Amino acid sequence: MSLTPVTWSLFIDTAVGVLPNSLIKTDHDNQDTYTAAARSVESIAAFNEGAGVQFYFTYSLNLSIACGLVKTYTDTQASTMDFGIANRFGACRVWELGSIVFNGPGFDSATDLASIIINAGGFPEYQKNGVTFYTSLVPATYPLFVKGALMSWNGAELTDVNIVVPFVPPPVASLYSGGSSGVPKKRAEGESLLALYAMLKEKNL
């Protein structure tokens, strides 16, 4: 696979962090709701097994940060993400279009990698350090953009956010000649040379 760093846009009380694909909150509003957000320029345009997003949360028990995939970007809330992970006060929530579909232990280290990856069936898988902890029951539809949402201002940051692009091997040169006969190229070339030799012999050349 390869990684495409997210380019943030449509900032709402947010700014680019230390890394160009990181996101920080710029206002000091500490309400119990997500008040800051941004959306990626890049998108996942169509189904591609293994595509998705990966990122890191800054960790603290008093921080609430969310990141996920959205078709439309209309507000700052985590709850409106099509497929999102929220690390909220030491616990993990999975949001899907207004519903919490999973509650579990949080990402308790700044080195824990969070990922949302589209599987072979087209369903998003939520992963911690490469291990799936929840698989969506809702198939993804496209295009999907990355959305970051921040609640706490005192150090909340999404770090190193990347769109995952699965590796597609380059096409292997065909061993067969063009046409539908399926004759290997070397055999076809040999038959052409034999035909040329027979014609030259017939003409005594």
Q: What is the pLDDT of residues 153-171, one digit of tens each?
A: 667 889 999 999 998 766 6
The boundaries of every CATH 2.60.120.200 domain in the chain are 2-165
- Is residue 29 within 8 Å of 154, Cβ to Cβ? no
Burial 62-84 (b: 16+ CB within 10 A, else e): ebbbbbbbbeebeebbbbbbbbb
Q: Topology of 2-165 in CATH?
A: Jelly Rolls (2.60.120)
Give the C-alpha separation, 72 to 142, whole Å: 10
The pLDDT of residue 89: 77
Mean pLDDT of the chain: 86
CA distance 188 to 128: 53
What percentage of residues in the chain have a pLDDT greater than 90?
64
Q: What is the mean pLDDT of residues 42-61?
A: 92
